[in-house]
């Protein structure tokens, strides 16, 4: 059952693609935020290649969006979040050898998988500590 047109910058198919990654919840959530930010920045720039829009252009675009119109405090917070996401996307794009707005969702998924692999491999205990392997004493 289709709920109708998407209310955000991601299409229903893109949301399904992100949700089907089987990533741990933390990485999947971060991936959704990055994808939402990427599509928002692309919409603000009016293109899907090149660098991210400058803060003034981004602010003008954001204030022109109907869901944000009249909510200037929210718009400022959202603007800060988009700028933070732009920095993250610039870092990911540099690793990929492309510009931030050139990133594809597939590239973001691969990046998120690497992040998940790094996080889980660095937090997997190699052996239990001696205290953890002893049964608790009488209480």
How many angstroms separate the CA atoms of 25 and 116, rounded? 10
Which residue, among 89, 124, 119, has the nearest Cα to 27 in the 3D structure? 119
Query: Residue 40: what pLDDT?
Result: 94
Indicate whether 30 belongs to any domain.
Answer: yes
Indicate whether 57 belongs to any domain.
Answer: yes
Task: Find the domain containing 38 and state its range.
Answer: 21-117
Indicate whether 56 belongs to any domain.
Answer: yes
Indicate whether 135 belongs to any domain.
Answer: no
- Under the banding of pLDDT at 50, 70 and 90, the label for residue 26 is confident
- Is the per-residue pLDDT at 16 higher than 70? yes
Local structure of residue 103 (DSSP, 8 states): -
Indicate whether 2 belongs to any domain.
Answer: no
Indicate whether 122 belongs to any domain.
Answer: no
Segment 72-90, tens digit of pLDDT: 899 899 999 999 999 999 9
Local structure of residue 48 (DSSP, 8 states): S
Indicate whether 124 belongs to any domain.
Answer: no
Q: Are 45 and 118 in contact (CB under 8 A)?
A: no
Indicate whether 129 belongs to any domain.
Answer: no
Which residue, among 116, 134, 105, 123, has the nearest Cα to 18 in the 3D structure? 105
- The residue count for the chain: 139
Please count the structural domains in the chain: 1
Tell me the pTM.
Answer: 0.77
């Amino acid at each position: 059952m289709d709920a109708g047109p998407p209310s955000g910058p991601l299409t229903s198919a893109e949301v399904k693609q992100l949700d089907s990654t089987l990533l741990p919840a933390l990485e999947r959530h971060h991936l959704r935020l990055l994808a939402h930010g990427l599509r928002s920045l692309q919409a603000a720039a009016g293109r899907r290649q090149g660098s991210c829009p400058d803060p003034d252009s981004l602010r003008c675009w954001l204030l022109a969006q109907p869901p944000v119109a009249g909510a200037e405090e929210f718009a400022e917070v959202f603007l800060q979040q988009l700028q933070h996401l732009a920095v993250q996307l610039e870092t990911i794009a540099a690793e990929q050898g492309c510009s931030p707005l050139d990133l594809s969702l597939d590239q973001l998924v691969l990046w998120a998988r690497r992040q998940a692999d790094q996080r889980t491999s660095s937090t997997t205990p190699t052996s239990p500590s001696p205290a953890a392997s002893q049964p608790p004493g009488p209480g």
